[in-house]
Amino acid sequence: MAASTHGGRAKCLQRLVRLELPVPRTVALSFDAVNAIAAGETPDMSALLQPFGDSAVLCVRPSSEDPDWGGPGAILNIGMNDARYVELSDRLGKAAAADLYLRFVQSYSVHVARVDPDLFDDLSDDPVEALGEALAAYEEDIEEAFPQDTGAQLLEVLKSMARAWQGTTARLLRQAKGAPADAGLGLVVQEMALGLGTGVSGSGVMQLVNSDTGARQCTGRYLSQSQGREALNQEKDAVFLQKDDRGPSLQEMAPEAFADLKTYTKLMREKLREEMQSEFTIEDGKVYLLDGVRVARSARAAVSIAVALAEDGIISREEALMRIEPRALNELLHRQIDPEAPRDELARGIGASPGAASGKIVFTAADAQAADAQGEATILVRRETSPEDIRGMHAAAGVLTERGGITSHAAVIGRGIGKPCVVGANDITFQTKRKRLVFPDGRMFKAGDMITIDGSSGEVLAGEPPMLEAARDDSFRTLMEWADTTRDIEVRANADTPEDALVAQNFKAQGIGLCRTEHMFVDPSRLIAIREMIFADSSEDRASALEVLLPMQRADFTDLFRIMQGRPVCIRLFDPPLHEYLPSDRDGIRELAEALDLPVADVTERVEALDEYNPMLGMRGVRLGIAVPEIYEMQARAIFEATVEASHDGEAVVPEIMIPLVSAMREVELVKKSVDAVAAAVRTETGSEFTYRLGVMVETPRAALRAHEIAQHVSFLSFGTNDLTQMTYGLSRDDAGRFMSAYVQQGVYPEDPFHVLDVDGVGELLEIGAKRGREAAPELTLSICGEHGGNPESIAFCRNAGFDYVSCSPFRVPVARLAAAQLAVKDRVT
Amino acid sequence: MAASTHGGRAKCLQRLVRLELPVPRTVALSFDAVNAIAAGETPDMSALLQPFGDSAVLCVRPSSEDPDWGGPGAILNIGMNDARYVELSDRLGKAAAADLYLRFVQSYSVHVARVDPDLFDDLSDDPVEALGEALAAYEEDIEEAFPQDTGAQLLEVLKSMARAWQGTTARLLRQAKGAPADAGLGLVVQEMALGLGTGVSGSGVMQLVNSDTGARQCTGRYLSQSQGREALNQEKDAVFLQKDDRGPSLQEMAPEAFADLKTYTKLMREKLREEMQSEFTIEDGKVYLLDGVRVARSARAAVSIAVALAEDGIISREEALMRIEPRALNELLHRQIDPEAPRDELARGIGASPGAASGKIVFTAADAQAADAQGEATILVRRETSPEDIRGMHAAAGVLTERGGITSHAAVIGRGIGKPCVVGANDITFQTKRKRLVFPDGRMFKAGDMITIDGSSGEVLAGEPPMLEAARDDSFRTLMEWADTTRDIEVRANADTPEDALVAQNFKAQGIGLCRTEHMFVDPSRLIAIREMIFADSSEDRASALEVLLPMQRADFTDLFRIMQGRPVCIRLFDPPLHEYLPSDRDGIRELAEALDLPVADVTERVEALDEYNPMLGMRGVRLGIAVPEIYEMQARAIFEATVEASHDGEAVVPEIMIPLVSAMREVELVKKSVDAVAAAVRTETGSEFTYRLGVMVETPRAALRAHEIAQHVSFLSFGTNDLTQMTYGLSRDDAGRFMSAYVQQGVYPEDPFHVLDVDGVGELLEIGAKRGREAAPELTLSICGEHGGNPESIAFCRNAGFDYVSCSPFRVPVARLAAAQLAVKDRVT
């Protein structure tokens, strides 16, 4: 019997029987058999009933291939009729027998015969009277007496359940959970342990771990005189299992039954190699196991359970690694809204940086910083964010933007600093000047009102629901260690600041794969130097404005090198268009004119002159580096001087310098010449020897196509898949948010290509670039440093393409480490 | 003797000798021989002099491989000395003999002995006296008597000319004209026909065509008692050749000599298979041919000459086609500034649409239209143009913009409507608000001041220099016909309006390869409908706003189909982002709010909501078509209804519908489904049958990579190389102007990729797309419709890649037709 022919429940029960656990007699109907019943065929009822004997009371439960796919509810107490009522009255007492019969009449009437449930609303409290009323109600509605033959009852139950599985609603629901169109239903016919009657009788569930924390702890409930999962549904009447000072327990009521149960549950864990929940009935003191199901678990518990199973030698470490969905680790790494808490949803955007945060609404970065200084949590609300907002983003608890997609500025920075972020919430009307938000249902929130965002789901909630804190426990660390010894592709982090680098180091990143130096210039004292540089008219003036930045940049890099302790640090040279550093509003321009002692008209003119139609495709990256060579020269000097400084007191540093937005080999030659010259000068000035590695960030389709030329001049190519995706699709990540969800819903794109690497298009350019690059330079280091770097599917792609490492946001490093380990395990198995 | 060993002049003279024309005795020195002389070796002078006898007077003229590469000036009258002076005094008279000797002393002194030319400034008017003064001046300066030995004189002349060729200036000048670094110089030593003395004696040049128009007309000048090219330099004293009522002529003075000359010149044309200019000397009534050189010619004359040579059976039609540089046709297609006219250059931008125009400066499209209504020519000056300016561009004589490159809006529209255009003139300070231009030299021009632009060279000139009109004569038409029967790749035109289509038809385009429908909406009555559509809140409101546009679009397309008389018309569905149709300034927004009866705040909000960071990569093209399906449905309906209408009264029309900005196959499927549905509806409504072809404009790298998928759903792929170049490089054409010229100068890019197709990067994507497309659908039509379509190199590339046609601006169609013909001829030859 296999789960694929009879369903998971049937398969599990078969294994419990083989373990000689006290499972009541059971017969399983296969998918084919149930299909035949649904099609109108009648099974051989006498053969079906034969194993159970004449007087058995039966139940039928669904058994689909995957328990998540659902199925019709179980029908219990089949076989109850007038005769058996009399018989059981003798054995269990009249009340218990009437209760059993009544339960069956009700569930048969409602679920099988489709009698109006309202007819059973006002039944007497006395079971015997109630039974009479229920039988009368059935007879009145159906105009026939309640069926008395067990075979006839069972056949109707089977038909009803088989047809329910075929219903449209059931089909759509299970397909939404990934079931195939032809998913089958098995049915399990089982003799009942009654749970009602004399002696210790009742039912319950038991598991040996805490579903939330994964701690080893006997949990569950037991309810006297009950059947099925009633103990869970009527919690106030149920008792604990293990002795506990909170109230009575099964252990005290029936120590032997409790001990047996615990033994059975442990045995299931060992033999079924999984943490199981026992569903049991006690009939007159004797324990019956009706079913075993996989323990429900949080992500945190899943990690604990898998690690414990491996540590107990029940499964291998590889299997433990395979049992955790890498993305589920996000739940351990970030605060979550308590899943049990009620949610007052206001709107939904794109969940762009996981974790949840509550705070008062603020509309400017300055307000976020002011509130932070007062110790108040805020949600920074912006149409979109820009480099000027970064300090505000640090100060806020979370960020909500109207525009942008999964790789917009807010999203990238949010993930980088581990700050919850919801973007593209364009259902909300942002009245930023009037400092208020109007939500789709008409509710209006002002600055200072409390909201909560969930950066995983994209939800925006009113108020401040209860939270679950992040939990990186010992099991998590153990699992990560196993992942690291298993995987065969390196994982680095994208980290722009010493703070980021500390997080990266904490998450055991093997280096920094992308340090975006432009984020180092948002500090006001640096911003003014950048602006002076922009307004300088001669190369000398530019160089002297940049000289102010040199010691700051040198300190940045020295810090980074020290934190990374000799691990590689890949620094991307200045990339953004210069106008990002200029104010765009009148006030800002006036202030800048004052600071630079220039007429407002001059400042306005320069700001307008630097304005671009398509900044993404404009004067930035290496184009700026060639047009204004002083910038790269200053940065190269800062890197090399920091290299010398950091190498004094630690391992020798070999910095990696990456050129952005390359589209032609000659660009690389020009920058290489200039950087080499700076290196030679610093060597002479300091009398220190050092080496460095130069590389190119492959972000344009042309750089990928010409990789064989470019590779002749560099040590590494790192694919910046954000920009490469933008250019391959002709699609700006900042503008795509407006229609991306509609596009994905209509299946125009199978996935948001900024979220999941587009293997067909962008992926082919990666493969072309990798192949041509390695052909020209076999020792070339290959990597990916776009937002896709932390994505399990992208990691698989890069590993297949022979990449050396992936680099992702620090908070995604654990996900990447686990995903990489799973790929290595899969390769060993196949 | 070959031009590659002895130079072109030597080669030509050899041929004239073989034709038994009266060429004075001639000896040619090879490149090697001249190199040896320059290196200090002395040639065997007696052997060199032997053919000429003792009493010859000689000249030496340069003979480089290509006459354009220049060379040292000729030295005449070598061999003149005291003895020969006496001798010739007897024969020619004392004055003539003294004149000959004096000429030689002067040129030898200045060019060979490097005597200060000022010493010969104040010579006597009497030749005999002057000779004495000149010999004395030589002797004083050099401190030696003037050399008397012919061999010694000749050796010094040869040495001097050989060394002059090696000089740095001469080398740089010829390398600028394409000469290789080791280009050689031959020297021709020729016996002189003296041109001075008794009887009819003198010199001149004759050619049988007009160099400007190419008309057959005996032109040239003859000057009595002259040598070399003096007749051209002293025009007031020279006479005409052929009898002419403007003055005396050689024909009257020496009818036999004239008749001989004409015979010789005709013979040269026939035998040298080229229109030649004769350089002749008459000595005592007898004609000597000193040289024959290719007639200098304008582009227009070049066409006439080539066609006449072919029509006279002297060369083949193929050869005639090969003799015209395709780009030179631009001179025939557009007005030119008279090359002889003085130019007062104010600044230089990028010549973006050929032709010259003069007009008064206007700063707004409205001013251009107002002036046009008054019959005044204007130059429309804008920072950049946008669709709102198109009517103003039509009204202006030319357009000058501060920003943009070869494929900016102004450039594309300018070429499309054949309007001269200079873009990217960022040396000029545009003070558009103060309505003035400040030029680099400080001159300030106000609105109303007259300027002239040259859209070929990019020059901006003060005032209104004289112009040469465009000249498409019979020869041009004949050459184009020959080109059409020769070439094997089709040429279509990009044409957006009926006016464009008329031009295209006039230039014999084989269809319209790209009709950009968005240019049809700039008319104010249409603009308001588009804006209503943008502000509509429901699909119904959108559809009803679009209904206003339907009859206009239908009329547009009906016109196009009728003009093109059954030739294919490829219509691109709506492409630009919607915000291009919205005002961006306060006044415009206020007006729009009034027109739509909406609050200004609402209009502002919608305008801001549609604003994009990178419009090029945003919500446009097929993305808009899918998000707002009503637009494409309206356009498809207009196309099909026009098809039915135009097919009633002419050949059946098979419209081609092209989807812009595709990046995924599913986009094509969705649009196809919707267009098919409209087609079916129109068939039912009209009861008419028609077919149509659907295609994709390949503008994103991804569309090229996925061409095999896309090709399954379409009949054609047309590569839009403007956008494809932008995305392959990650470079906006509108923003690239700022640094493109510096980039090309530094050799970062070998050429502006928006001007010359980037074969390595963009070209590979074209090849990939073409190959994959044809593999999936062998009957797929392939073409290019970007700005490169009219570029000879791109046409060669597309032809090699198996494309069916190229499409370019109407005014570039003749260039493309000729370039395509040359490719076919080259293939036949090799």
- Helix axis angle, B8-18 to B255-272, nearest 10°: 110
Q: What is the pLDDT of residues B22-80, one digit of tens each?
A: 999 999 999 999 999 999 999 999 999 999 988 889 999 999 998 888 889 999 999 99
Phi, psi of B655 (to 5 degrees): -70, 150
Q: How many CB atoms lie within 10 A of CB A745?
A: 9
The pLDDT value recorded for residue B434 is: 86
Distance of alpha carbon A100 from alpha carbon A78, whole angstroms: 10
Whether A751 has its CB under 8 Å from any CB of chain B: the answer is: no
How far apart are alpha carbons B604 and A460 in whole angstroms?
26
Q: Inter-chain contact A765–B705, Cβ cutoff 8 Å? A: yes
Say how far apart CA A64 and CA A51 lie, in whole Å. Answer: 23
Mean pLDDT, residues B462-468: 90
Share of chain A above pLDDT 90, in %: 62
Average pLDDT over residues A152-179: 90
Of A409, A579, A713, A755, the active-site residue reads A409
| CB-based contact, A654 to chain B, within 8 Å | no
Judging contacts by C-beta atoms under 8 Å, the chain A residues touching residue B619 are 735, 738-739
Q: What is the DSSP string of A109-123?
A: IIIIS---GGGGTT-
Contact B743 A700 (CB under 8 A): no
In angstroms, the first-to-last Cα distance of chain A is 25
Tracing tokens 């030698």 back to the chain, one arrives at A313
- Residue A473 is classified by DSSP as -
Please tell me if residue B748 touches chain A, with a CB cutoff of 8 Å.
yes
Type of residue at A142? I
Asked if A614 is an interface residue toward chain B (Cβ–Cβ < 8 A), one would say: yes
Tell me whether residue A12 is one of the annotated catalytic residues.
no
**How many pairs of residues across A and B have Cβ atoms under 8 Å apart?**
161
The whole-number pLDDT of residue A829 equals 65
Q: Give A223's strand partners.
A: A203
C-alpha A510/C-alpha A223 separation (Å) is 53
Average pLDDT rounded to a whole number, residues A621-650:
93
Residues of B in contact with A661 (CB under 8 A): 730
Per-residue H/E/C for A289-306: EEEEEECCCCHHHHHHHH
Give B532-539's long-range contacts (Cβ < 8 A, gap of 24+).
Answer: B532/B596, B533/B628, B533/B630, B533/B631, B534/B578, B534/B581, B534/B582, B534/B606, B534/B610, B535/B596, B535/B598, B535/B603, B535/B606, B539/B630
**Known active-site residue B6:** no
Contact call for A613 and B738, based on CB within 8 A: no
Residue B255: predicted pLDDT: 93
How many whole angstroms separate alpha carbon B176 and alpha carbon B827? 30
Closest CA to B300 of B170, B464, B468: B468
* β-sheet bridge partners, residue B784: B719, B806
pLDDT band at B505 (very low <50, low <70, confident <90, very high): very high
Instruction: Give A40: exposed, middle or buried? Use CB within 10 Å, 0-12, 13-18, 19+.
Output: exposed
Note whether B728 contacts A663, CB cutoff 8 Å. yes
CA–CA separation, A437 vs A444, rounded Å? 6
Q: How many CA atoms lie within 13 A of A566 on its CB side?
A: 6
Q: How far apart are CA B401 and CA A765, in angstroms?
A: 37
Q: Which two tokens stand for residue A384?
A: 């979109």
Q: What is the mean pLDDT of residues B289-305?
A: 92
DSSP for A62-94, written as a single string: EEESSGGG--PPPEEEET--HHHHHHHHHHH-H
Region A474-478: mean pLDDT is 94
- Please report, for residues A135, A277, B330, B381, B447, the alpha-carbon distance to residue B465 in angstroms, rounded to integers and kept in the order given: 112, 97, 19, 19, 19
Phi first, then psi: give them for residue B694, nearest 5 degrees.
Answer: -105, 140
pLDDT given at position A830: 58
In this prediction, residues A553-573 reach a mean pLDDT of 94
Which phi-psi region, left, alpha or beta, contains residue B807 (left: φ > 0; alpha: ψ -120 to 50)? Answer: beta
B 663-692: CB under 8 A from A: 663-664, 666-667, 670
Whether the Cβ atoms of residue A274 and residue A294 lie closer than 8 Å to each other: yes
Q: What is the mean pLDDT of residues A770-785?
A: 97
**CA A88, CA B250: separation in Å to the nearest integer?**
145
Nearest-Cα distance to chain A for B726, in Å, is 8
Give 3-state DSSP helix, strand, coil % of chain B, rounded to 5.
50, 20, 35
Residue A465 gets the label, from left (phi > 0), alpha (psi -120 to 50) or beta, of beta
Q: Which two tokens stand for residue B141?
A: 């300066």
ipTM for this model: 0.81
Whole-number average pLDDT of chain A: 91
Average pLDDT (A792-802) is 95
- Give the C-alpha separation, B613 to B630, whole Å: 25
Give the pLDDT band of residue A323 (cuts 50, 70, 90): very high
Q: Which residues contact A102 (CB under 8 A, 6 or more apart)?
A: A123, A127, A130, A131, A134
Residue B268 in tokens: 């040269």
* Lookup: tokens for A566: 């000799």
Q: What angle do CA A581, A584, A586 make, to 5 degrees?
A: 130
Q: Which of B12, B218, B515, B785 is catalytic?
A: B785
Does B438 contact A at CB distance below 8 Å?
no
Tell me the C-alpha distance between B533 and B548, whole Å: 10
What is the number of other CB atoms lying within 10 angstroms of the CB of residue A160? 18
pLDDT of B829 above 70: no
Residues B20 and B268: beta-carbon distance below 8 Å: no
Mutate to test the interface with A, among B705, B721, B725 (most CBs of A within 10 A): B705
Q: What integer best gives the mean pLDDT of chain B?
A: 91
> Residue A690's pLDDT is what?
95
Rounded to whole angstroms, the Cα distance separating A177 from B399 reads 62
Question: Any bridge partners for residue A249, and if so which?
Answer: A240
Q: How far is A614 from chain B (nearest CA, A)?
A: 4
Mean pLDDT, residues B676-686? 97
Cβ atoms of B107 and B79 closer than 8 Å:
no
**Which residues in B lie closer than 8 A to residue A746 (C-beta atoms)?**
626, 666, 670
Place of tokens 């003859």: B222
Tokens of A332: 């351990």
Distance CA(A63)–CA(A65), nearest Å, equals 7
Least confident of A12-21, A735-744, B316-325: A735-744
**Residue B344 to residue B425: CA distance in whole angstroms:** 16
